[in-house]
C-alpha cells in the first residue's frame, strides 16, 4: 500500500491499518488523527508534519523514519521501534512511549511534556532543547545521550550522559 492509498482509505472512514507494510511510505503532512497502525512496518517512512494525534502505533517499526514536526500528542507508541528516527520538534505531549526503542533518535526541540517514557531506550539520542516537563522517565536508559538544554529530564544516577550541560539560571 502506498501513502496516497492509505490517505484515501482513511478519508473514506477506514481507521484500522494494523500490521500494514508501509516501509518508505510518504505521508508528509497527512492528517491521520486516531489511526490504528499497531505493529505496522513504517521503517524509513516520511511522516514529517503529519497529524497523528491519538494514533495507536503500539509495537510499530519506525526505524529511521522522518517524524520531524509530526503531531503525536496522546499517541500510543508503547514498544515501538523508533531507533535512528528523525523527530526534531516532534509533538509528543502525553504520548505513551513505555518500553519504546528510541536509540540514536534525534529529538532536538521535541515536546514530551507528560509523556510516559518508562523503561524507554533513549541511549545515544540527541535531546538538545527537548522538554520533558512532567514526563515519567523511570527506568529509561539515557546513557551516552546528548542532553544539552533539556527541560525536566530526570537522569538516573547509574546512567551517565556523555554531554550534560545545565542551562544557566
Q: Is residue 152 part of a domain?
A: yes
State the pLDDT at residue 147: 86
Which residues form the domain of 37?
A: 1-156+160-164
**Domain assignment present for 141:** yes
Rg of the chain (C-alpha set): 15
Structure confidence at residue 156 (pLDDT)? 58
Eight-state DSSP code of residue 76: B
pLDDT for the residue 100:
98
Residue closest to 48 by CA, chosen among 77, 28, 73? 28
Segment (H or E) for 9 = helix 3-11
Within a domain: 169: no
Mean pLDDT, 10 residues at a time, the chain of 169 residues? 96 98 97 98 98 98 98 98 98 98 98 97 96 94 90 69 47
Cβ-proximal residues to 27 (8 Å cutoff; 6+ apart), any chain: 3, 6, 7, 45, 46, 47, 50
pLDDT, residue 165, reads 44
Q: Is residue 21 part of a domain?
A: yes
CATH of the domain at 13: 2.160.20.80
Confirm whether 140 is domain-assigned.
yes
Q: What is the pLDDT of residue 153?
A: 87
- Work out the number of other CB atoms within 10 angstroms of the CB of residue 114: 17
Q: Does a structural domain hold residue 118?
A: yes
Beta strands in 42-104 (DSSP E): none
Residue 23 domain flag:
yes
This prediction has a pTM of 0.90
Number of domains present in the structure of the chain: 1
Amino acid at each position: 500500500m502506498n501513502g496516497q492509498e492509505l490517505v484515501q482509505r482513511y478519508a473514506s472512514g477506514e481507521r484500522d491499518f494494523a500490521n500494514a507494510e508501509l516501509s518508505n511510505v510518504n505521508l508528509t503532512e497527512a492528517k491521520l488523527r486516531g489511526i490504528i497502525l499497531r505493529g505496522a512496518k513504517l521503517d524509513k517512512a516520511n511522516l514529517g508534519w503529519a497529524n497523528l494525534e491519538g494514533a495507536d502505533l503500539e509495537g510499530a517499526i519506525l526505524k529511521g523514519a522522518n517524524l520531524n514536526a509530526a503531531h503525536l500528542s496522546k499517541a500510543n507508541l508503547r514498544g515501538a521501534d523508533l531507533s535512528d528516527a528523525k523527530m526534531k520538534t516532534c509533538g509528543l505531549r502525553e504520548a505513551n512511549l513505555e518500553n519504546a526503542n528510541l536509540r540514536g533518535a534525534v529529538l532536538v526541540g521535541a515536546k514530551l511534556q507528560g509523556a510516559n517514557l518508562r523503561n524507554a531506550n533513549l541511549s545515544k539520542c540527541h535531546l538538545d532543547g527537548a522538554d520533558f516537563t512532567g514526563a515519567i522517565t523511570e527506568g529509561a536508559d539515557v546513557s551516552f545521550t546528548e542532553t544539552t538544554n533539556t527541560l525536566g529530564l530526570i537522569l538516573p544516577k547509574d546512567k551517565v550522559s556523555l554531554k550534560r550541560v545545565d542551562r544557566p539560571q
